[in-house]
């Protein structure tokens, strides 16, 4: 995975998952994984802000 950004759905390290998913702003249209950075999911979809 060198040179590529880690995808949440492929990460097994719980500390890295926590870092990637904190304050999630995007979800994956394929699997529903949530992440802060759009590059951390395969098919990013912006999450609606909480009102």
Q: How many domains does the chain have?
A: 1
Domain contains 23 = yes
Secondary structure class of 14 (helix, strand, coil) = helix
What integer pLDDT is reported at residue 3 of this predicted model?
57
CB-count exposure of residue 26 (10 Å: 0-12, 13-18, 19+): buried
pLDDT in tens, 1-51: 455 677 888 888 999 888 888 889 999 999 999 999 999 999 999 998 765
- CB neighbours (10 Å) of residue 7? 17
Give the domain range for residue 27. Answer: 8-46
Q: What is the DSSP string of 14-43?
A: HHHHHHHHTT--EEETTT--EESSGGGSSS
The answer as to whether 2 is a domain residue is no
- Alpha helices, DSSP H only, in the chain? 14-21
Give the model's pLDDT for residue 25. 93
């Amino acid at each position: 995975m060198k040179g590529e950004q880690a995808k949440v759905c492929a990460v097994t390290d719980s500390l890295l998952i926590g870092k990637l998913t904190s304050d999630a702003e995007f979800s994956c249209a394929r699997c529903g994984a949530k992440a802060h950075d759009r590059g951390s999911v395969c098919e990013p979809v912006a999450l609606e802000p909480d009102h």
